[in-house]
Structure 1
Amino acid sequence: MDVGKIEESEIPVGIAVAWGLRDRPGKGPKPALSLPRIVQAGLDVARADGLAAVSMARVAKEVGVSTMALYRYVAAKDVLLELMQDAAYGPPPEATADQDWRAGLTEWSWAILHAIRRHPWVLQIPVSGAPLLPNQITWLERGLTCLSGTGLAESEKLSVVMLLSGYVRQWAGLSIAVGAAGPDQAARYAKTLARVIDPVRFPAVCAAMAAGAVNDEWDDGDTEFVFGLDRVLDGIAALTHARS
Structure 2
Amino acid sequence: MTGSEHGTDGGTGLPASIEAAWGLRERPSKGPRPGIGLDRIVDAAVAVAAAEGLGAVSMGRIAKELGVSTMSLYRYVGAKDELYILMQEAVIGAPPEPPAPGTGWREALAAWARAQREVFHRNLWFLRIPISGPPATPNSVAWWEQGLKALADTGLGEGEKISMIMVVGGYVRNEATLMADLGVAIAASGDSPAEVLARYATTLKRLADPDRYPEVAKLLESQVMYEPDDPDFEFDFGLDRILDGIEVLIRRRGGA
| TM-score past 0.5 threshold | yes
2:172 is paired with a residue whose SS is helix
Q: Given the two structures, how large is their TM-score scaled by the length of structure 2? A: 0.87
For 1:238 and 1:103, how far apart are their aligned partners in 2? 16
Instruction: Pick one of 209, 227, 252 that aligns with 1:217.
Output: 227
Q: Which runs of 4+ in 1 moved over 4 A?
A: 25-31
Note the residue ranges of structure 2 that are not aligned, 5 or more in a row. Answer: 1-7, 187-192
For 2:181 and 2:30, how far apart are their aligned partners in 1? 46
Q: How many residues align?
A: 238
Corresponding position of 2:147: 143
For 2:32 and 2:85, how far apart are their aligned partners in 1? 27
Corresponding position of 2:189: none
Note the residue ranges of structure 1 that are not aligned, 5 or more in a row. Answer: 1-5
Corresponding position of 2:68: 65
2:35 is paired with a residue whose SS is coil
CA deviation string 1:39-59 (max 9, x = no partner): 111111111222111110111
Following superposition of structure 1 onto structure 2, how do residues 1-244 of structure 1 map, counting pairs within 5 Å?
7-8=9-10, 10-25=13-28, 31-97=34-100, 98-182=102-186, 183=193, 184-213=195-224, 215-244=225-254
2:201 is paired with a residue whose SS is helix
- CA-CA distance at 1:232 after TM superposition: 0.3
Corresponding position of 2:5: none
Decide whether aligned partners of structure 1 residues 177 and 30 sit closer, same or farther in structure 2, where only a CA change above 3 A counts: closer
For 1:46 and 1:30, how far apart are their aligned partners in 2? 24
Aligned residues: percent identity? 50
For 1:74 and 1:17, how far apart are their aligned partners in 2? 11
Q: Which amino acid is 1:208 matched to?
A: L
For 1:190 and 1:179, how far apart are their aligned partners in 2? 18
Kindly indicate whether the alpha-carbon contact (under 8 Å) linking 1:17 and 1:35 is maintained by their aligned counterparts in 2: no
1:23 is paired with a residue whose SS is coil
